[in-house]
Structure 1
């Protein structure tokens, strides 16, 4: 049976690879905000793989954007089987002593509020789904506190807590899990991490490499397929953080 799947932040990077991993035979609604051209290319790429691929542009740092996206889900789908809350990012690096209220608001709106709000808005659609699940995207930054980017780390840590709470509240109907990527080779690090820092991260990683979007996409697919896993955050980081 074809799944109805919503993926946020799917225009590029991890979100686009998640779409590729989940595309086969399914109906996709791919959200994007600043990656319109890339999202259109992905739509064309997946047209022969998925049953249908729709695009929707929205600013999920606003309540209006979240509501508009869910209205589009309701227009296209009668139910929702999979919600992947991937949209997010680091606004900029700011030391603790330099944190501004605006920076904190923006960081949490982008990484935390959008995930929490969308999950809430989609609850009824998910409860009507076939073995429905939510997969949230957090980060290794929640594990080590993200020095020089503490607002980002804290906003991702909040997703870890939300995942456990939502998993308990929405059980037994809806499973809720999260993925915490480590150092993944995407444009994200081109913008916020120096080459020297990237080399340091890789040297500190037991597997001696950065991750790829495929590594993360496969982890998301595992959580979608794993019927007896809920309330978990799966670390995908090459051993850079171990529990």
Structure 2
């Protein structure tokens, strides 16, 4: 056995939710480059079709885009079924889709907003993991990766429902690691602030100033910087890693002062 483990994903099938942009797009492209067949899921059909086409052209990998709203129980069921119909298996599931709408105050959070945030960030990942993880156990193995957030351990007042959902996702990760053991590994990624397309709405000057005080690496993450940890958890390199949540946050979650 070689001393250096392989991060290759040859012949594996990876399903990535929220895969048409941001960190999900980076992960999908990296998996395709490493030999995986990639299924990209997101709400908008045109977005997933475009992302699927572009990744296939860039990497030569077989890709598939499926429009699905992961906050909807039945659409999660259909997403899993469509992927199994096309490829016959899922080796890697990345629950990356997320949302955190702005609200004026916690007292003004509507039930609709609350349910939507919990649905996309927690209910959907639970439903997909339950379906896919059970079939992974039957198939003899697989890897589930839940994309959490440093908000789950260092929440702010303007993202409370989101932080609650991501904290629940952390708990789900640990529980399913035991439920699906020993053949299926379930782990999490905990990103801090990343400079994806979402950051275009930020006051970047104010963010840079805060980062110098609150983030040990003194900056936001570049999207490609999630890839190393995402490849590790998907590949055989992490064969003895389960029930683990890896922070990729520049030290921000515990670095504030």
**How many Å separate the matches in 2 of 1:198 and 1:93?**
20
Superposed displacement of residue 87, structure 1:
0.8
Unmatched 5+ stretches in structure 1: none
Aligned to 1:237: 249
- 1:27-106 to 2 correspondences below 5 Å: 27-34=37-44, 36-37=46-47, 39-47=49-57, 49-106=59-116
Unmatched 5+ stretches in structure 2: 1-9
TM-score with structure 2 setting the length: 0.87
1:103-158 deviation line (CA, Å, top 9, x unaligned)? 21011001110100111111233224464100001101111122211011111111
TM-score with structure 1 setting the length: 0.92
1:9 is the counterpart of 2:21: no
Higher mean Cα deviation, 182-191 or 158-167? 182-191
Aligned equivalent of 1:22, options 18, 28, 31: 31
Root mean square deviation, CA, Å: 2.0
1:171-222 deviation line (CA, Å, top 9, x unaligned)? 001100000100100122334x433552244222111111021111221111
**How many Å separate the matches in 1 of 2:206 and 2:45?**
27
1:135 is the counterpart of 2:145: yes
Aligned equivalent of 2:239, options 223, 227, 230: 227
**How many Å separate the matches in 1 of 2:75 and 2:189?**
24
Aligned to 2:193: 183
Where 2:80 maps in the other structure, the secondary structure is: helix
**How many Å separate the matches in 2 of 1:35 and 1:75?**
19
- Count of residue pairs the alignment pairs up: 242
**How many Å separate the matches in 2 of 1:52 and 1:39?**
13
* Distance verdict in 2 for CA 1:4–1:234, change over 3 Å: same
